[in-house]
Structure 1
Amino acid sequence: MTETTPRSLALLGLGPMGGPMARRLLDSDGGLTVWNRTSTKTEPLVALGARAATSPADAASDVVLTVLPDLDQVESLLPGPGGLLAGWSARGTARPVLVVHGTVSPIAVAAFAERLLRDHGVTVLDAPVSGGTVGAENGTLSIMVGGDREAVTLVEPVFAAMGTTVRYMGPSGSGALAKACNQIVVAATVTAVSEAMLLAGKGGLDLSVMLELLQGGLADSAVLRQKGHRWISNDFDGGGSARNQLKDLRFILDAATQEGLELPLSNTVRGLFDEMVARGDGALDHTGIHRTLVLRGGVP
């Protein structure tokens, strides 16, 4: 490793985003420990040169990246003899850095960072990512970072291996707040495209041609480029779940309330995703909001 990279690095959480992020890190440097609750997910990475940890304690490194859905899952890695805190203590690691790559509450992660630094000497960076699985696979993620500036400087070479747009946003919670702003646009976009495709279909238009027109004009977006096929095939399995999109929307509205803001569009979109999840479609890709609009008769 170079002088500016951490002496040891681990990534915990090898789901749809964490797995390809780990592969990018292995391509960049090779010195990586990985851990996942389902241990079989570590096997392809071990074949590429990673070390598989047997527990979070065994994965405790100078810098630990977590790619997990929410802060509760990150906190569950910390306590007990098999937890990160025990691992850092056993190694005598001074001022470890814990990176939260998941989309979490800006309010909660700021409090979490304050508590871990005060009680355990652990520096927490909130560094959510955007770009989907395609961005994770290609190393072109957008990474928005909040927390201690000195720690961010230490970890920047790691971020650079996974993303092409890496920006420091400010103190703890700032990265999560930036991701909340990103998710306003993402959630609204998938809903708007769903409404457009619903209207086009009801009006007898060719949806493939409609998609081509949208992609060729001002309405184009990464959502259309990466996920446009879903509205054509009507296949909403897999991908970024509606359940997680709803979680993000709740964080957005909590942050807005703290700032004394009303976000009427986000509130409306949240209501639609509430309905989608309540219908039992929470595991579908968030573009499946189209199905919710169809089931309610196309009246948003």
Structure 2
Amino acid sequence: MSTPDVSLLGLGRMGGPIARRLLAALGELTVWNRTPAKAEALRSAGARVVSRPAEAAAPVTLTVLTDLGDVEEVLEGEDGLLAGWAAAGVARPVLVVHGTVSPVRVAALAERLAASGIDVVDAPVSGGPAGAESGALSVMVGGTAEAVDRAWPVLSLVGSTVRHLGPCGAGEVAKACNQVVVAATLGALSEALVLADAHGIDRRPLLELLGGGLAGSEALRQKGDRWLTGDFTGGGSMDNQLKDLRFAAEAAAAHGLALPIATTLAAVYQRAVDDGDGHLDHAGVALSVARHASGPAGPQ
């Protein structure tokens, strides 16, 4: 199967490195971004830069946007993807949603667009910007077998671990599972540091020991320096971490499930956001954990 024509909309902290990787592998890529300067930065690398989403309506169109509302916005209107696919005569295009969005809502979007001959594949990713740059992302895929097959040559370039898990929405459920684990890991490490600090234990050797034992994790490997330097700027925000935990709660509620750990985590990250730290990297939950450690037990 030959690699189809591809476009990518959304060149933020994840979309930018994914686009650069696709450009290197494919030799060509159409890109659009709401802030034109980010798209223009890719022109010298060979990208075809367009000013309207309609001009980025390719047979396989990737969106790396924060929320499903952003995806729906680039679909509609005379400048939108729907108009672009129609004008270009693209038969049965595949819309790949790489953002972490509601599994319930993306499944509803897929059902709605299927009536217009458009397939939706949800394919959230995990691995951060470093994984996006190296192609080492995990890609969690939901959609019909036919649609996923058409998108697969591109998805296999985006990540090194790519798995088709079921119908549209399944990828987002898997991402919700991933985010529960990430949130729990960062929260637990934050509490461990509070305990170590109280006993005068140096953080650096402690983190080295944790990393070398059963407590080791990719989250610790990527975030360890932040806990040593106290620099929590950039990275995946606590606002987004909280959003993802809400999606996990939504997916659980759809099947009548109670998830007490995820519920507690949501309260912990909500407290950090309420503290004004929502814009910081999610490892910054350590600041809120430390801030409230001497108060009543449990999230407030």
Q: Under TM normalisation by the shorter chain, which class is it?
A: over 0.9
Indicate conservation of the 8 Å contact 2:31/2:39, yes or no.
yes
RMSD: 1.0
Q: Is the 8 A contact 2:194 2:293 kept in 1?
A: no
Q: Are residue 25 (structure 1) and residue 22 (structure 2) matched?
A: yes
Counterpart code for 1:224: L
Q: Is the 8 A contact 2:121 2:168 kept in 1?
A: yes
Measured in 1, the distance between the counterparts of 2:283 and 2:198 equals 18
What is the TM-score when the length of structure 1 is the normalising length? 0.96
- Give yes or no for contact 1:4–1:154 (8 Å, CA) kept in 2: no
The aligned counterpart of 1:16 is 13
- The alpha carbon displacement at 1:278 in A equals 1.6
Residue equivalent to 2:33: 36
**Runs of 4 or more consecutive aligned structure 1 residues displaced over 6 Å after TM superposition:** none
Correspondence for 2:119: 123
Q: In the alignment, what sits opposite 1:138?
A: 134
Look up the equivalent residue of 2:41 and give its one-letter code.
P
Out of 100, 105, 127, the position equivalent to 1:103 is 100
Tell me the SS of whatever aligns to 1:25: helix
Partner of 1:88: 85
* Count of residue correspondences: 296
1:157 deviates by 1.2
Trace 1:71-220 onto structure 2 (pairs within 5 A): 71-118=68-115, 120-220=116-216
C-alpha separation in 2, matches of 1:47 and 1:193: 42
Asked whether the 8 Å contact 1:9–1:62 carries over to 2, the reply is yes
Unaligned runs of 5+ in 2: none
The answer as to whether partners of 1:240 and 1:286 remain within 8 angstroms in 2 is yes
Q: Tell me how far apart the structure 2 counterparts of residues 202 and 18 of structure 1 sit (CA, whole Å).
A: 41
For residues 291 and 52 of structure 2, what CA distance do their matches in structure 1 show? Answer: 44
Aligned amino acid, residue 164 of structure 1? S
Q: C-alpha displacement at 1:62, in angstroms?
A: 0.7
CA positional deviation for 1:146:
0.4
Q: How far apart, CA to CA, are the structure 1 residues paired with 2:144 and 2:113?
A: 13
The gaps in structure 1 that reach 5 residues or longer are none
Deviation at 1:276, TM superposition (A): 1.2
TM-score of the two chains, using structure 2 as the length reference: 0.96
Determine helix, strand or coil for the equivalent of 1:168.
Answer: strand
Q: Which amino acid aligns with 2:293?
A: G
Q: State the AA in 1 paired with 2:97.
A: V
Which AA in structure 1 matches 2:3?
A: T
Distance 2:75 2:40 in 1: 24
SS in 2 for 1:153: helix
Which residue identity is paired with 1:256? A
In the alignment, which residue of structure 1 is the partner of 2:265? 269
